[in-house]
């Protein structure tokens, strides 16, 4: 389409959530434009890497309910591609049951699963070692295995949503194009200006993840987020018949000793198993994603290697295929995801929806539907089957810049 043309929906940010929004928007018959400042399927933000974890367990009932609701959306996407998007290797949580992370802890997750009727198998440290190939765990460690968890094929998920939107004939995808201004006029028209042109719409979705404050700067707004650079590595299997589920360990010190990992998968470095740190590299907390380190942290990689050496069997402890990604999190640790309309002083505020922050890969296919629901009508809650989830859980405490 020509520059300065009109669209029903414009999406700024072509990562996983932006592509989900494009998929759901075109399913609704919306003439859609997606604007990406880099290339599609890039590794420069929260969509870096090839794998993510899916799980049902959360400390918050509404987050577990959203995970349950997302399963039907994953099945829908899975039918559109020959690739498996969500593996069935299960989710193992273990460690010190007294510890918690931003997403909860072992005992809190058990309470939520009990309340919602989510099945799981409790485990002792000895059982975890015997059944799942870990070793030398502290005897006080406990955990559980939840069979509905698994590993997300992130790039294949992005690809199928991109392909479906493109093949609809309703979507334009622009890349290497940076938004320089957003103007929301009293006439109901929202104009998005980039380094290459200007585009008009009545509905706007902002899905730029850790770059959100670059995007909303022209509206004199800021979202209170923090940004973690995080490293991961793959470790070669020395025992070829060994396998792991997706797993997460809670241990002291919380700030620099949480790790998580994945099984071997045939779509990302077969013969190797990915293990990642769950803390900011070198303790760095960013407010501007442009300040990110350009290379994975040597300290994080060494801690990764030490964890593998001390507690995993059948793996070399030498890191290969190292990478890094950016994780945006809400400054308010009670907020798991941030999804909201613009503040009321912005014209057409209910026609502009912003998503950012959170460990959101497990919600990729449902988040696009949630955003489109909000743009269709002023939405206070989301109803999926038996669950009605208040939008207040995801509200943004917008900061207005002078």
Burial group, residue 195, by CB count within 10 angstroms (0-12, 13-18, 19+): exposed
Reduced 3-state DSSP string for 41-67: CCCCCCCCCCEEEECCCCCCHHHHHHH
- Do 169 and 303 lie in one domain? The reply is no
| Structural domain harbouring 197 | 6-47+155-222+334-400
Is residue 345 assigned to a domain? Answer: yes
If we measure between CA atoms, which residue out of 301, 327, 363 comes closest to residue 45? 327
DSSP sequence for 92-115: EEEE-TT-EETTEEHHHHHHHHHH
> To the nearest 10°, the Cα dihedral for 152, 21, 209, 68?
-40
The stretches in the chain having pLDDT less than 50 are 1-2, 4
If we measure between CA atoms, which residue out of 43, 102, 52, 153 comes closest to residue 360? 52
Q: Which residues are CB-contacts of 76 (< 8 A; sequence separation ≥ 6)? A: 365
- Do 231 and 309 lie in one domain? The reply is yes
If we measure between CA atoms, which residue out of 75, 59, 56 comes closest to residue 362? 56
- Do 108 and 257 lie in one domain? The reply is yes
Is residue 54 assigned to a domain? Answer: no
CA gyration radius for the chain? 21
Please give the Cα distance from 356 to 351 (Å, whole number): 17
- Do 306 and 389 lie in one domain? The reply is no
- Do 254 and 320 lie in one domain? The reply is yes
- Do 264 and 235 lie in one domain? The reply is yes
Please report which helix (H) or strand (E) contains residue 23, including its range: helix 16-27
Is residue 116 assigned to a domain? Answer: yes
- CATH code assigned at 268: 3.30.9.10
DSSP sequence for 118-160: ---EEEEHHHHHHHH-B-S--TT-EEEEETT-EEEEHHHHHHH
- Do 322 and 234 lie in one domain? The reply is yes
DSSP 3-state helix, strand, coil percentages of the chain (rounded to 5)?
30, 30, 40
Tokens of 352: 């502009």
Is residue 78 assigned to a domain? Answer: no
Is residue 232 assigned to a domain? Answer: yes
Is residue 73 assigned to a domain? Answer: no
- Do 270 and 356 lie in one domain? The reply is no
Confidence (pLDDT) at 2: 44
Task: Count up the domains in the chain and report the number.
Answer: 2
Is residue 1 assigned to a domain? Answer: no
Last residue of a domain, one of 330, 360, 381: 330
- Do 142 and 167 lie in one domain? The reply is no
Note whether 294 and 231 are within 8 A (CB). Answer: no
- Do 106 and 231 lie in one domain? The reply is yes
Confidence (pLDDT) at 1: 39
Q: Which residues are CB-contacts of 169 (< 8 A; sequence separation ≥ 6)? A: none
- Do 140 and 167 lie in one domain? The reply is no
Confidence (pLDDT) at 102: 65
Q: Which residues are CB-contacts of 130 (< 8 A; sequence separation ≥ 6)? A: none
- CATH code assigned at 190: 3.50.50.60
Is residue 349 assigned to a domain? Answer: yes
Output the pTM of the full model. Answer: 0.96
Q: What angle do CA 258, 261, 267 make, to 5 degrees?
A: 150
pLDDT in tens, 171-205: 999 999 999 999 999 889 999 999 999 999 999 99
- Do 239 and 135 lie in one domain? The reply is yes
């Amino acid at each position: 389409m020509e520059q300065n043309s009109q669209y029903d929906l414009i999406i700024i940010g072509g990562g996983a959530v932006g592509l989900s929004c494009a998929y759901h928007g075109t399913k609704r018959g919306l003439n859609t434009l997606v604007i990406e400042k880099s290339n599609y399927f890039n590794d420069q933000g929260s969509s870096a890497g090839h794998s993510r974890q899916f799980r049902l367990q959360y400390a918050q009932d509404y987050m577990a309910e959203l995970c349950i609701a997302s399963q039907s959306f994953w099945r829908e996407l899975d039918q559109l591609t020959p690739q498996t998007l969500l593996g069935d290797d299960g989710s193992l949580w273990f460690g010190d049951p007294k510890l918690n992370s931003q997403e909860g802890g072992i005992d809190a997750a058990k309470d939520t699963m009990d309340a919602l009727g989510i099945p799981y198998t409790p485990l002792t440290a000895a059982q975890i070692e015997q059944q799942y190939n870990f070793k030398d765990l502290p005897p006080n460690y406990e955990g559980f295995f939840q069979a509905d968890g698994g590993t997300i094929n992130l790039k294949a998920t992005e690809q199928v949503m991109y392909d479906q939107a493109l093949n609809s004939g309703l979507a334009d995808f622009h890349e290497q194009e940076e938004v320089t201004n957003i103007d929301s006029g009293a006439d109901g028209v929202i104009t998005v200006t980039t380094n290459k042109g200007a585009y008009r719409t009545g509905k706007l979705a902002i899905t730029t993840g850790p770059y959100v404050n670059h995007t909303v700067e022209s509206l004199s707004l800021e979202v209170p987020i923090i940004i973690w650079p995080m490293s991961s590595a793959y470790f070669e299997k020395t025992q070829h018949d060994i396998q792991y589920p997706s797993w997460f360990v809670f241990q002291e010190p919380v700030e620099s000793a949480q790790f998580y990992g994945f099984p071997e998968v045939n779509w990302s470095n077969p013969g190797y198993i990915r293990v990642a740190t769950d803390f900011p590299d070198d303790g760095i907390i960013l407010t501007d994603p442009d300040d990110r380190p350009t290379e994975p942290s040597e300290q994080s990689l060494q801690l990764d290697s030490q964890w593998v050496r001390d507690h995993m069997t059948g793996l070399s402890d030498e890191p290969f295929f190292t990478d890094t990604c950016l994780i945006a999190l809400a400054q308010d640790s009670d907020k798991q995801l941030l999804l909201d309309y613009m503040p009321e002083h912005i014209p057409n505020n209910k026609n502009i929806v912003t998503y950012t922050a959170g460990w959101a890969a497990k919600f990729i296919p449902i988040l696009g539907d949630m955003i489109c629901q909000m743009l269709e009508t002023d939405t206070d809650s989301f109803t999926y089957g038996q669950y009605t989830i208040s939008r207040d859980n995801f509200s943004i405490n917008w900061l207005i810049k002078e």
